[in-house]
């Protein structure tokens, strides 16, 4: 059975046609993912924010910020410290954006001397 589209689904679909909105939406989703992962790992470890902060050597407020979906000031060093305290690791992936096909084809021809 197909899920019925809500007014929000329709609104979001329209908004995502705006490249600026789509970029901000994607960025917010990435911050949300980090926040949810940190909070879930901390809770799974049975620690409060204050207890985790003590293990990391930071404040409870900093842990709260890291777990906030609106926070965008994550540093790799702090994420590593928090992950270490939680018995976890950090995996960062930087991926090339999809390129238009004509660029990829032109580069391929140049690379192999095809005219």
Q: Give percent of the chain above pLDDT 90.
A: 38
If you count them, how many residues does the chain have?
115
pTM above 0.75, yes or no: no
By the 8 A CB rule, do 67 and 49 touch? Answer: yes
Mean pLDDT over each residue of the chain, to the nearest integer: 81
> 55: pLDDT confidence band, cut at 50, 70 and 90?
very high
Q: How far apart are the first and last CA of the chain?
A: 51
**Whether the predicted pLDDT of 111 surpasses 70:** no
Domain 7-112 belongs in CATH node 1.10.10.60: no
Per-residue confidence (pLDDT) for residue 102, from 0 to 100: 62
């Amino acid at each position: 059975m197909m899920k019925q589209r809500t007014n929000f689904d329709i609104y979001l679909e329209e908004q995502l046609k705006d490249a600026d909105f789509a970029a901000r939406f994607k960025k917010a989703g990435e911050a949300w993912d980090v926040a949810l992962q940190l909070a879930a790992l901390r809770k799974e470890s049975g620690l409060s924010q204050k207890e985790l902060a003590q293990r990391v050597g930071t404040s409870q407020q900093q842990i709260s910020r890291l777990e906030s979906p609106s926070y965008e000031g994550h540093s790799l060093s702090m994420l590593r410290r928090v992950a270490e305290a939680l018995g976890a690791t950090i995996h960062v992936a930087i991926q090339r954006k999809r390129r238009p096909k004509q660029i990829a084809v032109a580069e391929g021809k140049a690379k192999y001397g095809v005219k």
